[in-house]
Amino acid sequence: MASSEALLPISAREEEPSCPYTKLPDGSRSDPETHPRRRRPYKGLLAVSFGLLLIAFYVALIATQDGSRSNEAANATDETEKTTSSSSRARLAGVSEKSNDGLWKLSGGQNTPAFEWNNSMLSWQRTAFHFQPEENWMNDPNGPLFYKGWYHFFYQYNPNAAVWGDIVWGHAVSRDLIHWVHLPLAMVADQWYDSNGVWTGSATILPDGSIVMLYTGSTDKAVQVQNLAYPEDLNDPLLLKWVKFPGNPVLVPPPGILPKDFRDPTTAWKTPEGKWRITIGSKINKTGISLVYDTTDFKTYEKLDSLLHGVPNTGMWECVDFYPVSKTARKGLDTSVNGPDVKHIVKASMDDTRFDHYAVGTYFESNGTWIPDDPSIDVGMSSSLRYDYGKFYASKTFYDQNKGRRILWSWIGESDSEAADVQKGWSSVQGIPRTVALDTKTGKNLVQSPVEEIKSLRLSSKKFDLELSPGSVIPVDVGTATQLDIEAEFEIKKESLDKFFGDASVVAEAEEFSCEKNGAGSTVRNALGPFGFSVLATESLSEQTPVYFYIAKGKDSKLKTFFCTDTSRSSVANDVIKPIYGSVVPVLKGEKLTMRILVDHSIVEAFGQGGRTCITSRVYPTTAIYGAAKLFVFNNALDATVTASFKVWQMNSAFIHPYSEEAVRALTRT
């Protein structure tokens, strides 16, 4: 197979180099080297006034854009997507994003003023070991790859504000997926075919080691097209400069597909004839679909007659991912691998619900189609599987040839108000990269765990073995509890289980139970639970985020286990979203109940039963912060005694630095 150098003409190198500096909202540029900071410091009144100015600016901008684009939008979209004066910038551009303004109206009534955040609270929310840009807005992970000893991470980034808009590609590198150096922007919106935004895309490493990047451009007319880019210098392990192919766009929306429903190309995989194949998310009416194209040179494409897959009533599929998993071993597979021991995963991010759904199934390479093993849990159905039952969207995997594993990245947005984001000057984090593999024990679901490298941040630890009687809430003495890694095993005492099964009066509730529906969250008690941890809790538990198991009896008398996170009491603030998240978690015969929790300031990532069910939450306590944040273990069961055996590590902060040669050298030495 030809390399990308051979595929692409030298003239493509005439593109302007990427901007090495961060553009400030006033149009000036800051040299990141002269503004080194990892945690965003308190900026006092200046930040607040500037934030208010920015809000006014965006309100004005939204109004202007609505007026100036209405004709074009009406032509370009179907009836349901026509813009209105209240459309967000993202909706106008044909892509959605969070818009959490007016939240307190939902939680407190229209006459209640929004919570008054002070800068000490907002500063605390910034994470210590999750990936974040130095400031402003970030969304989807893009084009992750491993090259010449470096993990590369690109992401959707607004260099001008803490809200979605002006999207370009941010870029950072790491040796271990934990410590990062921010690099200059990889691609900016400087061509007609991406002037409205350099949107999501994926990398493919060709057999000769060269790299092609396919990404969606939103054109000057807000049409979604696919573009090709590649590194200017393959000898540069940092891949600092990216060249856009002069023949872009390489794909435009095909007949029958609306101009704003064609985005997010995947990593390419090999066809049996030696061509490359990609899939791109779309929809027809309300059916979410994934289109398939074959190519030999990444410049010209042949559309397949059949779809990879489609599911009625699921709406637009964003950020589709497609990859093989091994049925027999817990390892990653290169995207082109196929064979009898292989299943294939289709994941799509549902634009309508903002959930990432996946299904396990079979891929037919002859015609590029895929079918789910269980059609009742097909991609995007409300009953189908999710990578994560909390805040987790627009995820993307890549095959890490360095360690033979598949890594999952995901955008973790905010659950606070946009006003607070503007005040704090940033929005969104990335989840800790996770290894993802088929659960070889069940064969029906994936398992995810934080990459092993996260353990390098573990500092001092304490081990606990406790017997939790019904109704107990016990403080866990680990000092400050804002950066933690917790690994725990729980077991219900045999006497309690025997009593439970011998008691015919226990009501079967498993069929009706769901973490989300159960408005009272972890305070609802039954015979066997809930039990787990309350993280980011005040001494008095006035603020707390319980992560717990809830076990219920089904009509068949069998037990069903749920894994939940209850953020409803995580903060006394009224302008944040505080759901109860979770789902059922498979527990096999002979298994203890296990959970792992990463706490990093405003993000809590929870992995139930070895990562069969995962829940990521964003929480914004007002008092349970800094030294006042505590950890509790609890057992709210009415009847059962539970043993808890767990270890808690204090976690160090990651090294996440602005770009400088010294910072790169420092990472090289690690």
Q: Which is nearer to ligand DQQ, 316 or 476 (CB)?
A: 316
Q: How far apart are CA 91 and CA 71, in angstroms?
A: 15
Task: Provide the minimum distance between the beta carbon of 224 and ligand DQQ in the complex, in angstroms, as a whole number.
Answer: 8
Task: Provide the minimum distance between the beta carbon of 97 and ligand DQQ in the complex, in angstroms, as a whole number.
Answer: 7
List of residues 6+ apart from 56 with CB closer than 8 A: none
Tokens of 332: 């990653």
Q: Which is nearer to ligand DQQ, 216 or 570 (CB)?
A: 216
Task: Provide the minimum distance between the beta carbon of 96 and ligand DQQ in the complex, in angstroms, as a whole number.
Answer: 7
Task: Provide the minimum distance between the beta carbon of 66 and ligand DQQ in the complex, in angstroms, as a whole number.
Answer: 19
Whether 501 and 612 have beta carbons less than 8 Å apart is answered as no
Q: Which is nearer to ligand DQQ, 219 or 534 (CB)?
A: 219
Q: Which is nearer to ligand DQQ, 200 or 534 (CB)?
A: 200
The helix (run of H) or strand (run of E) holding residue 47 is: helix 44-76
Residues lying near ligand DQQ in the complex (CB under 6 A) are found at 95, 139-140, 156, 167, 199-200, 216, 263-264, 318-319, 394
Q: Closest by alpha carbon to 463, among 430, 486, 437? A: 486
Whether 533 and 488 have beta carbons less than 8 Å apart is answered as yes
Q: Which is nearer to ligand DQQ, 224 or 609 (CB)?
A: 224
Start-to-end CA distance of the chain, whole Å, equals: 35
Whether 218 and 194 have beta carbons less than 8 Å apart is answered as yes
For this structure, is 190 an active site residue? Answer: no
Q: Which is nearer to ligand DQQ, 7 or 167 (CB)?
A: 167
List of residues 6+ apart from 374 with CB closer than 8 A: 359, 360, 444
Angle at 320 between CA 173 and CA 615, to 5 degrees: 75
Q: Which is nearer to ligand DQQ, 158 or 641 (CB)?
A: 158
* DSSP code string of 309-374: EEETT--PEEEEEEEEEESSSS----TT--STTEEEEEEEEETTTTEEEEEEEEEETTTTEEEES-
The single residue of 26, 31, 101, 140 carrying the catalytic annotation is: 140
Amino acid identity for residue 369 in this structure: T
Buried b (16+ CB within 10 A) or exposed e, 116-127: ebebebbbbbbb
Task: Provide the minimum distance between the beta carbon of 576 and ligand DQQ in the complex, in angstroms, as a whole number.
Answer: 21
Task: Provide the minimum distance between the beta carbon of 63 and ligand DQQ in the complex, in angstroms, as a whole number.
Answer: 21
Task: Provide the minimum distance between the beta carbon of 471 and ligand DQQ in the complex, in angstroms, as a whole number.
Answer: 43
Whether 584 and 613 have beta carbons less than 8 Å apart is answered as yes
Q: How far apart are CA 250 and CA 507, in angstroms?
A: 60
Active site residues: 140
